[in-house]
Structures are given as structure tokens and as C-alpha cells.
Amino acid sequence: MVSSSWVQEEVLKALPEATVEVIDLHGSGDHFHVRVISESFEGMRPLQRQRKILDVMKAHIPHPIHALDLKCMTPQQAQTAGETAFDPHGNGQGIHRHRLQRLKEEKQ
Amino acid sequence: MNWTPEELQAIIDEHDVVLFMKGTPSEPQCGFSNRAAQVIQQLGVEFAAVNVLSDARAIPSICAWSDFPTMPQVFINGELIGGSDIALEMLQDGSLKEMLDAGRQ
């Protein structure tokens, strides 16, 4: 189990100038949604962008990090991206986090 | 199947769209694998799905071969595009279809 701030620091080792947002999807310290925003992604394909991050993070997968949902975007893309977090365990099928929250609120 | 680099290469050589996933498209065992299967099915083309939970050797062998640490993994025209996050992003911006239509380079 690791903390969101630990994940953030690790990602920053790969791209020190990036903006890094980390969500601990289950509060269990092993499933994370990570949004990385960097000017340096401009002109790179999605996999090239992720490889920059994975070069550092792959040492931590599958332990202690079991799941890493990565969104790598340029500042321009981030402006229009909206909510990107995705929970892979919602009803066992994967569901967007916002919807999960809404369902919980509707039940209450 | 021994999950050797040669065997894995043969799979992506033979099929234009290959999905290595936990479970099957009809019975996915992980939310990310399910998301990748949903994305691929929206392409409306034939694809090969390989269940990496069918053999304990599968995941470590595939991850070492592709140099990508997580499942699922999507291959288009023999090239790794990434996991379910990238597959979804490329479906939404149209680049997945473009890549498939362009054929093998």
C-alpha cells in the first residue's frame, strides 16, 4: 500500500515539470488514476507519452501498485478533458467514478 | 502455447486486432479488460482475444515481451498501442480507426 503523494513524487521523477494529479480509486493504496499534464507531450503518440511515466513506474507494478490508469495530456487537451477517472471495479464491469458516486447518492 | 516471444509475435502477425485481457470479452475478469474489450468491439471488426488468466505464465511472459507492465494490452496491425486508457482515448479521437484502416506499415 502506497499513498497518492508517493505516487505523485514517483511520476515527477520521470517528468519533473509536469502537473501530476493522483486519485486513489478505492482508498486501498493500490489502484490509482493518474493524470499527467505536460507541454513535453506535444507531438508524441499516447504510448510514447505513457512510456515516459512507465519507465519509472514499472518497477512498482504489480506490487505495490496493482492498477494504474494513466491519462497523459498536453495543457491544451487538459482544458477540454473533463472528468477522466475510471474505477475498474464498479459493479465488476468498470464504471466511471462520477457515475459510481451518483449511484451511491441516489441510493441514500 | 508456451508464451514464447515467437508464439506471441505469431499471434499479432496473424490478426490485425489482438486483445490480451483478463478473462474473455463475454466474461471479463477485470474492469480495465472489460473496457478494452468494449472499445475493440465498437470497431466492428474481427479480433483475437487472448485470456491471460488461462495460464500463470502468460502475464509475466507477455509483459516482458512487449515491455509494457499492465493488462490489458491492445495490438493493432502488429503494433502495441497500449492499455484500455489509450484504446479508449484513440477510439474517441478517431485515431484507432485511422490506424486500422491504414493497414500494416
- What ipTM, to 2 d.p.? 0.86
Q: Which of B33, B70, B86 to mutate to test the interface with A (most CBs of A within 10 A)?
A: B70
Instruction: Give tens-digit pLDDT for A33-53.
Output: 999 999 999 999 999 999 999
Does residue B104 lie within any of the structural domains?
A: no
The CA distance from B6 to B29, in Å, is 27
User: Quick check: B13 pLDDT over 80?
Assistant: yes
Which residue range forms the structural domain that includes residue B63? 5-99
The helix (H) or strand (E) run that includes residue B51 is strand B48-51
Where do the structural domains in chain A lie, given as residue ranges?
4-107
Pair B56, B50: CB distance under 8 Å: no
C-alpha cell at B26: 463475454
Q: Which of A44, A86, A87 to mutate to test the interface with B (most CBs of B within 10 A)?
A: A86
Rounded to a whole number, what is the distance in Å from the CA of B32 to chain A's nearest CA?
A: 6
User: Quick check: A90 pLDDT over 70?
Assistant: no
- Counting the structural domains of chain B, the total is 1
What value does the mean pLDDT take over residues A54-76? 93
**Amino acid (one-letter) located at B59:** I
User: A24: which strand partners?
Assistant: A32
According to the model, what pLDDT value does residue B104 have?
87
What value does the mean pLDDT take over residues B7-19? 98
Does residue B105 lie within any of the structural domains?
A: no
- Which CATH number belongs to the domain containing residue B93 in this structure? 3.40.30.10
What value does the mean pLDDT take over residues A66-78? 91
Pair B9, B61: CB distance under 8 Å: no
The helix (H) or strand (E) run that includes residue A86 is strand A86-87
Percentage of residues in chain B with pLDDT exceeding 90? 98
Q: Which residues of B touch A54 (CB under 8 A)?
A: 68-69
Does residue B84 lie within any of the structural domains?
A: yes
Q: How many Cβ atoms from other residues are within 10 Å of residue A29's Cβ?
A: 16
Q: Which residues of A touch B35 (CB under 8 A)?
A: 86, 88, 94
Interface contacts (A, B; CB < 8 Å): 50
According to the model, what pLDDT value does residue A95 have?
46
Multiple choice CATH, A4-107, 3.30.300.90, 3.20.20.70, 3.30.70.100, 3.50.50.60:
3.30.300.90
According to the model, what pLDDT value does residue A78 have?
85
Q: How many Cβ atoms from other residues are within 10 Å of residue B74's Cβ?
A: 25
User: Quick check: A27 pLDDT over 90?
Assistant: no
pLDDT band at A5 (very low <50, low <70, confident <90, very high): very high
Percentage of residues in chain A with pLDDT exceeding 70? 79
According to the model, what pLDDT value does residue A108 have?
63
According to the model, what pLDDT value does residue A88 have?
67
